[in-house]
Structure 1
Amino acid sequence: MADRHKFGVKKEPVVPQVPRGAVGRRVAEAVTEDISRHLDPVLFEDLKDAALSQNPEASRRAIRSALADGIRPEDLADFYIPALARDMGDLWCVDQLSFAGVTIGVSRLQAMMRALGPNWASDSATQNENASILLIVPQEVYHTLGAIVLSSQLRRKGFSVKLILGGKPEDIANRLSRTRFEAVFISSSAGETLESLRHIIDVIKTSCEEPCPIVVGGSILDVEKTDDVTALTGADYATKRPDEALRLCGLQQTEQNKAHAKGGT
């Protein structure tokens, strides 16, 4: 078995401007409740070893092996990859994995997502005229893996998703001026201020030709009350649950969506 602590465990200095507990939350954005019951311990450790291996090809080989053994790609995307991200964050919090190790490990998890399906992990949206969602991770926010997992879940439900990572206000405004969306989701971290979030939402509102619901999610809801987030930022809703966000925006799956998702495209 590979040494899963190749990336300088306990040796590399921690980057001081990133709060230790916050990284544990940021890399766990997409973890669902009671996720452990979906996991096979042996497969979990094999994937973990691969993600923390010095060989960048190890993660892709591990995914191919799991798929060959009959593991559903949806289970790898929705359960194993988020749980691995959380575990890496927990290891860093107790000084068993360096910050560089977490960073590289999470990038390998993103590679696993790409290996599972380009339509899930890529920036290309599915062809669905009825429900198009803009998913934004603001500039200087580091929890991109959670948003990538969320975008894959939404696409597999049949929704068209445009994902903007590290979104600058001008990038967001440009996209909204060219494309009509039925909803805008913002994945916001505990380290962001409500003022910075309000600025992004102001940009969204002034850039949309037609109003659409704006939903804030992410670990900011671990440190801020839902009512405060909506009242102080101008967002319409705040929730960490994707299904609730869709329901609040009136984006229930239609029969066309379900057929699209079942087709796996």
Structure 2
Amino acid sequence: MAEYLKLGVKNEPAMSQASLGFVGRSVAVAVVEDISHNLDPNLFTALKDAALSTNPDESKQAVKAALAHGTHPEDIADFYIPALARDMGDLWCADQLSFAGVTIGVSRLQAMLRALGPNWASDNATTNENASILLIVPQDVYHTLGAIVLSSQLRRKGFSVKLFLGGKPEDIANHITRTKTDAVFISSSAGETLEKLRQIIEVIRGSSGATCPIVIGGSILDVQEIHDVTALTGADYATKLPDEALKLCGLQETEKKKISARNGT
């Protein structure tokens, strides 16, 4: 039996609905495209066993081994980590992994992501000084892995990203008041209410004077229509695709223009 199953608790007490929601949100991810064709089964298994091992050092060792064998760090971040998060959720649903096991596993995946690219984890990592994105995971929501994956993708595209995990409205307001922000992305789970999102957006509008576009993404779009989300929250746009969000906010074009300007074309 694989070592990670030791993290499972077969006879643990029944979970509350709140705990069920916690697990579901913990493994939510930002990338929604089919990524299975980008995965090597052997590497997937090695990273999975390492993330769910009782030895926390195995995660870093597995990443180092993958990189040493030629795997691109971007592939681990964009394909393997989201797929592993989903797989952990499937294991829990099949009663093969405990609540604690999922929590530990997702935490290890976050550690893998940080180890892959230190600059991806920096709020100031940017080659595009005029494009700054505020990425918010609302307070009391636990689907942080997807937002961390998304923030690393945006930084690699050249954007400066400030990531607010469990952001309180007053903290968000203070940040927007003090800092130039070109767009606000809100990562929202299926368990959140549109009213809660409306309140967050109201705070943002009051702080920024409605000068920056606001985009809602995440698994909430699996259970709500895009029109309803934008109409009832006050968001400008709603999409689960990062590139589409950038395009809707006009940031993709801005990035290309700056690259052309630097190259003198």
2:118 is aligned with 1:118: yes
**Which residue pairs with 1:194 in the alignment?**
194
**Which residue pairs with 1:254 in the alignment?**
256
**Which residue pairs with 2:37 in the alignment?**
37
Using a 3 Å threshold, how does the CA distance of structure 1 residues 10 and 53 change in structure 2: closer, same or farther? Answer: same
- Do 1:159 and 1:257's aligned partners in 2 also have CA atoms closer than 8 Å? no
- Do 1:24 and 1:93's aligned partners in 2 also have CA atoms closer than 8 Å? no
Deviation at 1:162, TM superposition (A): 0.5
Alignment of 1:59-74 (within 5 A): 59-74=59-74
**Which residue pairs with 2:96 in the alignment?**
96
Deviation at 1:83, TM superposition (A): 0.2
Deviation at 1:155, TM superposition (A): 0.4
1-structure distance, mates of 2:180, 2:210: 8
Deviation at 1:194, TM superposition (A): 0.5
2:64 counterpart letter in structure 1: R
Using a 3 Å threshold, how does the CA distance of structure 1 residues 211 and 235 change in structure 2: closer, same or farther? Answer: same
Instruction: Give the secondary-structure state (helix, strand or coil) at the position aligned to 2:163.
Output: strand
Instruction: Give the secondary-structure state (helix, strand or coil) at the position aligned to 1:185.
Output: strand
Instruction: Give the secondary-structure state (helix, strand or coil) at the position aligned to 1:6.
Output: helix
2:135 is aligned with 1:149: no
**Which residue pairs with 2:204 in the alignment?**
204
**Which residue pairs with 1:178 in the alignment?**
178
Q: How many residues align?
A: 260
Using a 3 Å threshold, how does the CA distance of structure 1 residues 258 and 224 change in structure 2: closer, same or farther? Answer: farther
Instruction: Give the secondary-structure state (helix, strand or coil) at the position aligned to 1:18.
Output: helix
- TM-score between both structures, scaled by the size of structure 2: 0.92
1:17 counterpart letter in structure 2: Q
Normalized per residue, the structure richer in helix is 2
**Which residue pairs with 2:164 in the alignment?**
164
- Do 1:63 and 1:112's aligned partners in 2 also have CA atoms closer than 8 Å? yes
**Which residue pairs with 1:5 in the alignment?**
5
- Do 1:147 and 1:187's aligned partners in 2 also have CA atoms closer than 8 Å? yes
1-structure distance, mates of 2:199, 2:232: 11
- TM-score between both structures, scaled by the size of structure 1: 0.92
**Which residue pairs with 1:235 in the alignment?**
235
Residues 158-201 of structure 1: CA distance to partner in whole angstroms, max 9, x if unpaired? 11100000000011011001101110000011111111110000
1:3 counterpart letter in structure 2: E
Structure 1: any 5+ residue segments left out of the alignment?
A: 261-265
- Do 1:27 and 1:86's aligned partners in 2 also have CA atoms closer than 8 Å? yes
Using a 3 Å threshold, how does the CA distance of structure 1 residues 25 and 152 change in structure 2: closer, same or farther? Answer: same
**Which residue pairs with 1:263 in the alignment?**
none
- Do 2:186 and 2:216's aligned partners in 1 also have CA atoms closer than 8 Å? yes
Over the matched positions of the two proteins, sequence identity in percent amounts to 74
**Which residue pairs with 2:81 in the alignment?**
81
